[in-house]
Structure 1
């Protein structure tokens, strides 16, 4: 005769293993400053979605089919990339797998992603934002200013006290000061090299003076 306690225990084990699997598969990534996202990306474009479909992309190690979402896009401008226009981007089918959901309408997006053998791939860890949500400073920075600071490193402050580890770093304090990763530094500042080769935050819509030594306004 089967022991009902054994059945209950077996059910709990199955549920626990399923929960562990869900946690292991959940998307997890640290927020990045828009400049850092630009510098980390292989491709940075302004585009709008014109189509969406689910496609097969081989099998995993257990033989299960891998699905991906293909977004067909109309590229409006390329800020960084291989040169030829990007016609589609690929992402995972769910947010738990870091998949990005985009609206297939007239809304335009800033999209950063990685170039892989089969095309451009984007995840929730990339910087993908509606174009209308960007500040004027952010849109101007895509043309040159973000690129000028790619030799610098932006360090996110998660809790006080925090500090930088070297002169090539800028401390990103939006989270501790404003409780958001879309604060003033993300919206209006760029971390760029100064005349002494150290890096510092710069605010403004124009290129900084060649010898700037501190935070400046235009």
Structure 2
């Protein structure tokens, strides 16, 4: 009887450890405003995915092979990145470790943000901002070339519950979650956090460039 109880205890302990490992491996990301994603990324491109294959990416510290998914892409436009075109992006093979799944029929266009590795390859995760091009608002599309970069010195602070405040005039308070209970709300779709003429930052609505001495939020 004692042996049976000990055996059950060991089995439960093993199952518990497996569950902890699974939870530890699960991908977890903090929501980011599209402008934050643009500013923190090495590469921002518009592209179609035209192919997919699993490739070897060396070995881990235990000698086990590391697999990656390689997506062959057709770059349409680069908004931020190296001088040469990107013809492939790499990601982990599972969503549990932040791997990204993309359509590979070459029909859907994506906005893809990611990191540039030392060898010149582009890597993406579920924490990067990757959206179908058609799902972006007109302001988001325009801001990729006209607005987001001018506000990269500003800080967007996410508000998750009331009250929430900013601690610096260079911050913009992102309130989509507390107001609409979604992160892809009005501020994400239609606003950019822009540095003003007095070096403070404020939300700016619309895709047209702000006035040279812009001081207040205004609708063009």
TM-score (norm 2): 0.97
Q: Is 1:179 the equivalent of 2:200?
A: no
Cα distance in 1 for partners of 2:2, 2:219 equals 77
- Deviations for 1:110-150, whole angstroms, at most 9, x for unmatched residues? 00000002410001111000000000110000012100100
- Give 1:181 deviation, angstroms: 0.4
Determine whether 1:86 maps to 2:92: no
Tell me which of 190, 193, 196 is aligned to 2:195: 193
Measure, in 2, the Cα distance between the counterparts of 1:52 and 1:10.
Answer: 42
| CA–CA distance in structure 2, aligned partners of residues 166 and 2 of structure 1 | 63
Over the aligned positions, Cα root-mean-square deviation in angstroms equals: 1.1
Q: Structure 1 CA distance, aligned partners of 2:128 and 2:81?
A: 15
For structure 1, the residue ranges without an aligned partner over 5 or more in a row are none
Q: Is the 8 A contact 2:146 2:207 kept in 1?
A: no
| Alignment map for 1:89-104 (pairs within 5 Å) | 89-104=89-104
Q: Secondary structure at the match of 1:138?
A: helix
Comparing 73-82 and 50-59, the one that deviates more: 50-59
- Aligned length, in residue pairs: 218
Aligned to 1:123: 125
What is the distance in 2 between the residues matched to 1:92 and 1:204? 36
Partner of 2:19: 19
Secondary structure, aligned partner of 2:12 = helix
TM-aligned CA deviation for residue 39 of structure 1: 0.2
Query: Does the alignment pair 1:110 with 2:106?
Result: no
Listed one character per residue, the Cα deviations across residues 78-104 of structure 1 (whole Å, up to 9, x for unaligned) are 000001100000001111101111001
In the alignment, the residues of structure 2 paired with residue 2 and residue 73 of structure 1 have an alpha-carbon distance, to the nearest angstrom, of: 61
Aligned structure 1 segments of 4 or more residues deviating by more than 3 angstroms:
none
Alignment of 1:1-218 (within 5 A): 3-105=3-105, 106-118=107-119, 119-218=121-220
Deviations 1:10-53 (A, max 9, x none): 11111011011111111111000000100000000000000001
